[in-house]
Structure 1
Amino acid sequence: MPRPKSKRTERACLVCGGITKVLHMGMDVCRACTVFYRRSKGKNFICRSNTSKCPVGEECRKCRFDRLDRLAKKSGSNNDESDDSSDDNVTTKANLAENQPISDRLTEEPRSSLSPDSSSVQNSKPRHGTPLINKLSEKYKVMCDTRLACELSSRVDPPHPMRVYDRNHPLYPATYDSYNRANRIFLTTILQFGVAAFPEFATFNDREKWTVVTNFFTRFRTFDAGYRADKTFPDDMEKGFIGYTLVFSEEAINHFYDDCPNVGDREEATRIHRDRFKTNLRPNREAMRRIGHRHEEFIASLAMMFWSTEGLDVSPDVTRASELYKEIILRELHIYYREDLQLEDYAYRLGEVLMFLQTCEQRAGDMDKHYELLGLLNVFSDDTVAYRLTNV
């Protein structure tokens, strides 16, 4: 006998203003907010407006979490799952069953120094159908924490370790030397990320690991920097990142080459840097803002970039792993849109996210040409990490 369709009326989510037909946490809260609340417990967010009073519907994670927390305490509910055995939950269970073998395979791996507690990934499997995205989110956070600590600790005047731990640290204007060191740190953490996130990556030989990592680095650096700049400088479109703690601005350009050991045409290099900054930074920031990647979409894009191995000189094993993980991440994106966001027609949004990967690839090519030009001016050399990678 066919299951009768739900006759529940649509209601506005008390947190984000979206539409929900199902009670979650015993209240009119949508599933997307419920999942966000569950995943965000124990995390420290910073209010984008610095007011802790962002309007309903604004994408400030701190205010969104605080509203959810207040509602949960007010209702006396500690249950962050749906209180309703609706068609949505039946669909979720069906999708989980379909993906169970892949989920098991992905989470059965040795513990590593970058994975202090892998049980949280395994325990989340019965609750939602995106185990790879969840896992990569954890590993990306570790990568960010490592970049942060290493960049700040390598400075001549490092902040107190407690300030680093609390993320109450200064941001520094980028210079040639600090940028070069930041890129070395970034490449090392990507290698660690690859081993911790993808079991197959650990089996590749050193040449293949380096090929995959450097290919990813050239694509991901501007994407990651733009994503974080939009979170850190939401009201200042004239700033960007070129390291985890290094800010690039027009003012910073004037002193970028002060600590550069290479003898070259610094005046012309500074002019080229300034022209590129004026031409590219704001359009790139605006493009990132138009897309407005949710965290899960950002992580899925990260995975797609990591496994963009087309045209690389790699073994069939690398190609097979690439195809496998891209297939899985696309499947989980479908599940995320259907189950977590409860979107029925998400094809356009998925297309936007995937097309932006092509934009990132184009930017990577433009950046390589920029570095080659700086190499001709003898300010960048083989000792410059980013430049050397363009000549591999």
Structure 2
Amino acid sequence: SIMAAASSSKPYECLICGVPIYNANLGIDACRACTVFYRTALSSTKELLCRKGTDDCFVRNTRPNCRKCRFTRFAAVLSKSTSGATTSAMLLQRDNGNDTDSSDEPHSNNSNGVQNTFIDHRSFSLFASCSTDAPFFDRMRRAYSLLCLIRSCGEQGTYSDDPVGAKKGDEMTFISIVKSNKQANMAILARGLIPFYDSIFEDFRGLTNESKNFFVNRSLRMIQSLDGLYRSAHHFPDEDILSPTYTTYVSMDILDEFVENRFPEPEQELMAKEMRGNFHRSVDIILNEYKRVKPTNEEFLALMGLSLWNNELSRVNEEYSEIVTRNRSAVLSELHKLYTELGRTDYSVRLGDLL
């Protein structure tokens, strides 16, 4: 099923010490322990000294480690992450819907109206403003297209004017992940998801800001994966290409360049091997499963809702068990109602494919 595949990805590794992680800190793939250490060392007036006196004795997956070299390693990774964006804002701006030409309307494979239009930043003007009592999927379509608009504008703002690595999708230009700032783009997604879910779920609106951030951060990898599948399958239906953020793409032929740009030379061979394996798994298992099932727009939007209210949150914090169960049931009820209206009788089978 799509949800199971999207949520079964391996944990990421902390780029500092190598331990498995599921969430980023300070905008990079770093564990909480390394992040706390870096912040503490940064504010300390005590000089850090290399244990061996060589200033290069840090070894991943080894404890304990030299404090100075650990600090230097963190600073280097953080610096690479924040300086990685060197792509074309102008090219994206021209091709990604910032003019009024009617040819930029989102592509639709049939003539059944707005509901069957691929939803992205260009479709925002097609969906009428919705009140909180409007039909569920009407609110979802409007909110998701607004999220796309936020991400399109936000990601373009992180790029410079170098068009190297651009690739055309359906009336939209994608930039090589090599030339992008993935962590900044992920932060834009995370910030945009809060007003997105605010506009759809009353229970989410009632949460504290701390709880909202908890829900979004714990669900972010799954949401990102699902969102990327929706756009990859549309823009590159016959290619093995993934879209990790709204305006970027990654393919097998650019992975080596990505590794060379983001990792120290001693780690490049190992990281390249691991990333190729992850890419193959993502394409062979997750992307191909998505293309096989071919979720409709409404099914995709339902999965976006279920990704927020995922059962894993209940296991992490029992306090949220009731709200998760209630909202999962509400989303599934809306999906069942839609199938009934369409005359579909394979509700259980279809849910098996989706979930």
The match for 1:323 is 325
The match for 2:158 is 154
**CA RMSD, 1 decimal:** 3.1
In structure 2, C-alpha distance between the alignment counterparts of 1:180 and 1:285, rounded to whole Å: 22
Q: What per-residue deviation string (whole Å, max 9, x for no partner) do you get for residues 327-386 of structure 1?
A: 2211111110111x21234331133223xxxxxxxxxxxxxxxxxxxxxxxxxxxxxxxx
Secondary structure of residue in 1 paired with 2:343 = coil
The match for 1:342 is 343
Identity %: 20
Q: Which runs of 5+ in 2 are unaligned?
A: 1-102, 114-123, 164-169
1:299-378 to 2 correspondences below 5 Å: 299-308=301-310, 309-313=313-317, 315=319, 318-339=320-341, 341-354=342-355
1:209-358 to 2 correspondences below 5 Å: 209-236=212-239, 238-260=240-262, 265-308=267-310, 309-313=313-317, 315=319, 318-339=320-341, 341-354=342-355
Contact 2:132 2:200 in 1 (8 A): no
In structure 1, C-alpha distance between the alignment counterparts of 2:327 and 2:275, rounded to whole Å: 37
Q: CA deviation at 1:264?
A: 6.0
Q: CA deviation at 1:183?
A: 1.0
In structure 1, C-alpha distance between the alignment counterparts of 2:264 and 2:318, rounded to whole Å: 34
The match for 2:148 is 144
Contact 2:132 2:199 in 1 (8 A): no
In structure 2, C-alpha distance between the alignment counterparts of 1:176 and 1:272, rounded to whole Å: 20
Contact 2:204 2:212 in 1 (8 A): yes
Contact 2:180 2:248 in 1 (8 A): no
Q: CA deviation at 1:325?
A: 1.9
The match for 1:121 is 130
Q: Structure 1 residues 323 and 279 mapped into 2: Cα distance closer, same or farther (>3 Å)?
A: closer
Structure 1 residue ranges, 4+ long, deviating more than 4 angstroms after superposition: 115-120, 122-125, 261-264
1:20-35 to 2 correspondences below 5 Å: none
Contact 1:176 1:257 in 2 (8 A): no
Secondary structure of residue in 2 paired with 1:290 = helix
Matched, 1:191 2:187: no
In structure 2, C-alpha distance between the alignment counterparts of 1:288 and 1:116, rounded to whole Å: 28
In structure 2, C-alpha distance between the alignment counterparts of 1:292 and 1:335, rounded to whole Å: 19
Number of residue pairs matched by the alignment: 235
In structure 1, C-alpha distance between the alignment counterparts of 2:221 and 2:351, rounded to whole Å: 23
- Taking structure 1 as the reference length, the TM-score comes to 0.53
Q: CA deviation at 1:232?
A: 0.6
- Taking structure 2 as the reference length, the TM-score comes to 0.59
Q: What per-residue deviation string (whole Å, max 9, x for no partner) do you get for residues 105-137 of structure 1?
A: xxxxxxxxxx99997434995xxxxx2222122
The match for 1:44 is 105
In structure 2, C-alpha distance between the alignment counterparts of 1:189 and 1:310, rounded to whole Å: 23
In structure 2, C-alpha distance between the alignment counterparts of 1:123 and 1:305, rounded to whole Å: 21
Contact 1:176 1:260 in 2 (8 A): no
Secondary structure of residue in 2 paired with 1:171 = strand
Contact 1:229 1:240 in 2 (8 A): yes
In structure 2, C-alpha distance between the alignment counterparts of 1:220 and 1:229, rounded to whole Å: 14
